């Protein structure tokens, strides 16, 4: 059984199949290059994330009244609804920054096989 989309044209009913997989949050995290790999591995090792993608970026931001430009690494940690709060707390606890960037992206439309793998991989 599925759910009916609220975006269906008036008078039409669109049924979305229920795959059993709920929301799939991804945590967007920035980290310094010398700490990003360890943080990514920690999240996967502790089964808080099924996968963490890493890629370099240059960040421009204001801190203590000054504009800074630093090389950082973006981490995209694929997790589950149930594990997100624990992942966020673990990042805050282990991150080298005083104020780590952790943002939640909702993914309501993922490939079924990927969503099932993520659900099975994260505890």
pLDDT digits (tens, 9 = 90+) for 77-119: 999 999 999 999 999 999 999 999 999 998 778 888 988 998 9
Position 66 pLDDT exceeds 90: yes
Q: Which of 115-119's residues contact partners 24+ apart within 8 Å by CB, and which partners?
A: 115/19, 115/21, 115/24, 116/19, 116/20, 116/21, 117/50, 118/21, 118/24, 118/50, 118/51, 118/78, 118/79, 118/80, 119/21, 119/80
Who's near 84: CB < 8 A, 6+ residues apart?
25, 27, 104
Task: Identify the band that residue 73 occupies on the pLDDT scale cut at 50, 70 and 90.
Answer: very high
What's the total number of domains in the chain? 1
Provide the terminal-to-terminal Cα distance of the chain, rounded to the nearest Å. Answer: 26
Task: Give the CATH number for residue 69.
Answer: 3.30.70.120
Predicted model pTM? 0.76
Residue 108: domain span: 3-121
Position 46 pLDDT exceeds 70: yes
């Amino acid at each position: 059984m599925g759910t009916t989309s609220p975006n269906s044209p008036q008078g039409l009913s669109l049924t979305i199949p229920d795959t059993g997989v709920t929301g799939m949050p991804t945590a967007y995290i920035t980290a310094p290059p010398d700490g990003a790999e360890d943080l990514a591995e920690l999240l996967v090792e502790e089964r808080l994330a099924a996968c963490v993608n890493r890629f370099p970026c240059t960040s421009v931001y204001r801190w203590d009244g000054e504009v800074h430009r630093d090389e950082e690494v973006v981490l995209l940690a694929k997790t589950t609804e149930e594990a997100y709060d624990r992942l966020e707390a673990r990042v805050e606890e282990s991150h080298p920054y005083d104020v780590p960037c952790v943002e939640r992206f909702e993914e309501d439309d993922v490939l079924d096989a990927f969503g099932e793998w993520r659900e099975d991989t994260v505890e």
